[in-house]
Amino acid sequence: MRRLNSRFGMIYPSHRHAERSPAVRRETGRDLAFSLVRHVGLVLALVIGACGQQTAAPKITKIEPPNWWIGLPNPMIMFTGENLENAQVSIAAGGIHVRRTQPGRNGHYLFAWLEIGKKASPGEISLSVTTAGGKQTAQWRLEKRNPAGESFALNQGFNGFGPDDVIYLIMPDRFADGDPGNNFPASGTYNRSDPRAYHGGDLRGIQDHLLYLRDLGVTTIWLTPIYNNDDHTGRDYHGYGAVDLYKVEEHLGTLADYQSLVKAAHGQGIKVILDIVPNHIGPTNPWATDPPTDHWLHGTPEHHSTVNDQFQHLTDPHASPREWRDIVEGWFAGVLPDMGTDDPITSQFLRQNAMWWAETGALDGFRLDTFPYVDRLFWHDFHSAIHGAYPVFKTVGEVSGFDPVIAAYFVGKKKTDGIDTGVDTVFDFSLYSALRKVILHDAPPTLLEQVLQNDWLFPQPQLLVTFLGNHDNPRFMGEAGATPEKLNLAFSLLLTMRGIPQIYAGDEIGMPGGDDPDNRRDFPGGFPGDARNAFTPAGRTPDEQKIFNHVRSLLHLRQQHPALRWGKYVHIFGDDHTLVYVRTFRGEKIRAERLLLLMNNADQSHTVEVEISDTVLADAKTVTRIMAEHDAALSPGTKIKVELPARSLSIYQVDSR
């Protein structure tokens, strides 16, 4: 009979019944004595051998996060280095102690969970890592929280965003070059004639043009990721392939430049949203081949699945795991390592990283890249932490695809599949698609009504972020059949319908562009040597100036009329070329107002008669022009008659007194 020793994994004869015979007992005794001598000899040999080999001392090359703040949730510290097996962490500072430690993989990583008490003092903290081979001490900084993170003072950060805002999307490398010194032309990564190389835009360039944005009417800027990306390929200008989540990409500037930009933006009354990417990292990130834990990533460079975007399998309560697993565990484009967000340690690391960028810069919100590709429980925990620290901070998730049912599955403020993701809102891809179909391809305007009929799916449809274009799709003016007149009409709808509008940098002057990377051309005038400067009227073409003036007028009109920002949206009439709707607003401190909006999507002007009985316009006594070419004729209680110019939106004030 043989059995396995569960502790040492050794197989040896069973002596369970040896006491039955004296002879057997004597024989067994000699066998046990001999075995004992052999075992002791083996142990001595191992000890002597170990004494002959000196254990290497621990070496710390990085600590993440590099600093933390008193009053934020207790952090988990990750040490990166060498010889970190069986290490202990100690702290020489009052009010802070190590709750527990856990080794990572290959002796290259060590985790320590700290508890920071109320008596802790800000300053440099000595963190000591000790093993049998020695000790290394590194400095780590503990700081006071940004006061704005607790006061939420206006224009100081952490203020979130909402219908009062207009978001302006900026890809820093393609907007403006404020510091040619960080272009690094000798590196081979900078080449303005290569659409996939770095072009020199940076954070300082954005700061230099804040007055342009304020004059346009922008209240919030969204920056694509500024993480440190690969410095050798020259293809990661976009920021979505991070190699270090705690560093600013050197082509874009420094951490001080980031802080300076956010502070300067707040000084101009402009909020800042930062794009973050918990879903994946860059293929040359050291973690790709040497992850900190066994569950840090989903898969390895040699063995991984490729992501797909069949989100209906995530929303399907009857789907088998094999139908949705690649969505949340596959590598994006087959090359970007997928973070193990369903692992508690990885999840905490990523939550802390987001909080670090928020606190360091005094941000107002996050844009959450590739939102559906990350598991729902991660997002729940993420938002519990972020909103716990910053109650009015806002997030917007990228849920690409044109099905509002799928978008609504991911939005927060409600439990779906037993989990509230906590995300404040998502981008309205359905309305984006409908706007382009109606304006560019002459689909009936009632298609817009059909999209808005699904607003009941969303707890707060007024927070949906609406847009005409972004950095992932061909520009509006890059589409077949696009004209400045059509673009102006599209902007008229975008900026007067419900939601938080987002404008892609350059669309306000009608920049052209096809598929990526052609849709990411440099903003004219933002770079040394540009032939013209489209940041100024003198540097714009007549068509560019026409579009700019129209967008600017709409943005300032939106600021003047709360009905365009917060008003209830009501359908009145629609046909093959016409859409009529009303925005009504009743405020406690702001005067109530009612606006009538009439769109003509035809190439010719035409006169429309709108029946108003049994609508919110039935009690109208006067209809006054706000942004319209012609007066409207009102027959009280029955109809409104008005001539609508070609490809236009006419706006009127309606009063019942």
Express each pLDDT in 491-522 by its tens digit: 999 999 999 999 999 999 999 999 999 999 99
Q: What is the DSSP letter of 417?
A: T
Instruction: Determine the pLDDT at residue 56.
Output: 92
**What are the DSSP E strand ranges found in 491-592?**
500-504, 568-574, 578-585
Secondary structure of 116-174 in the HEC alphabet?
ECCCCCCEEEEEEEEECCEEEEEEEEEEECCCHHHHCCCCCCCCCCCCCCCEEEECHHH
How many CB atoms neighbour CB 427 within 10 A? 23
| Cis peptide bond N-terminal to 66, omega within 30 | no
Same domain, 433 and 401: yes
Where is pLDDT greater, at 229 or 7? 229
Same domain, 463 and 329: yes
Same domain, 137 and 163: no
CATH number of the domain encompassing residue 606: 2.60.40.1180
Question: Quick one: pLDDT band at residue 11, thresholds 50, 70, 90?
Answer: very low
Cα diameter, the chain:
121
Question: Quick one: pLDDT band at residue 36, thresholds 50, 70, 90?
Answer: very low
Q: Which of 79, 91, 88, 81 is nearest to 132 (CA)?
A: 88
Question: Quick one: pLDDT band at residue 54, thresholds 50, 70, 90?
Answer: low
Residue type at 185? P
Distances (CA, A) of 606 to 582, 630, 645: 20, 12, 7
Question: Quick one: pLDDT band at residue 16, thresholds 50, 70, 90?
Answer: very low
Domain final residue pick, 542, 560, 578: 560
Query: Could you give the angle at the alpha carbon of 591 between the alpha carbons of 491 and 498, nearest 5°?
Result: 30
Same domain, 222 and 338: yes
Parallel, antiparallel, or unpaired for β 76-82 and 59-64? antiparallel
Q: Residue 229 and residue 387: Cα distance in Å, rounded?
A: 28
Question: Quick one: pLDDT band at residue 53, thresholds 50, 70, 90?
Answer: low
CATH number of the domain encompassing residue 113: 2.60.40.10
pLDDT of 13 over the 70 cut:
no
Q: Residue 392 and residue 424: Cα distance in Å, rounded?
A: 10
Same domain, 166 and 82: no
Average pLDDT of the chain to the nearest whole number: 92
Same domain, 168 and 221: yes
How many CB atoms neighbour CB 186 within 10 A? 7
pLDDT of 592 over the 80 cut:
yes
Express each pLDDT in 435-451 by its tens digit: 999 999 999 999 999 99
Distances (CA, A) of 493 to 417, 480, 601, 606, 621: 35, 20, 11, 19, 26
Distances (CA, A) of 576 to 446, 481, 651: 8, 18, 20
Residue type at 540? R
Domain final residue pick, 560, 590, 605: 560
Q: Residue 89 and residue 103: Cα distance in Å, rounded?
A: 11
Instruction: Determine the pLDDT at residue 151.
Output: 78
Distances (CA, A) of 259 to 26, 352, 448: 82, 18, 40
Q: Residue 240 and residue 336: Cα distance in Å, rounded?
A: 9
pLDDT of 51 over the 60 cut:
no
How many CB atoms neighbour CB 656 within 10 A? 12
Same domain, 81 and 216: no
Same domain, 109 and 177: no
Domain final residue pick, 145, 177, 198: 145
pTM, 2 dp: 0.91
CB 220 within 8 A of CB 272: yes
Query: Could you give the angle at the alpha carbon of 273 between the alpha carbons of 412 and 201, nearest 5°?
Result: 145
Question: What is the domain count for the chain?
Answer: 4
Q: Which residues of 68-103 are buried (b: 16+ CB within 10 A; e: fewer)?
A: bbbebbebbbbbbbebbbebebebebeebeeeebeb
Express each pLDDT in 319-359 by its tens digit: 999 999 999 999 999 999 999 999 999 999 999 999 999 99
CB 97 within 8 A of CB 91: yes
Distances (CA, A) of 644 to 571, 588, 605: 18, 34, 6
Q: Residue 286 and residue 317: Cα distance in Å, rounded?
A: 37
Same domain, 519 and 574: no
Q: Which of 523, 524, 517 is nearest to 504 (CA)?
A: 523
CB 516 within 8 A of CB 471: yes
Same domain, 374 and 463: yes
Instruction: Determine the pLDDT at residue 657.
Output: 83
pLDDT of 27 over the 70 cut:
no
Same domain, 536 and 587: no
- 28: CB partners within 8 A, 6+ apart: 15, 18
CB 77 within 8 A of CB 140: yes
Which of 5-9, 520-524, 565-569, 625-629 has the lowest average pLDDT? 5-9
CATH number of the domain encompassing residue 266: 3.20.20.80
Instruction: Determine the pLDDT at residue 590.
Output: 79
Give me the domain span that covers residue 141: 59-145
CB 512 within 8 A of CB 475: yes
State the average pLDDT over residues 535-551. Answer: 98
Same domain, 397 and 501: yes
Q: Which of 53, 102, 45 is nearest to 79 (CA)?
A: 102
Express each pLDDT in 202-215 by its tens digit: 999 999 999 999 99
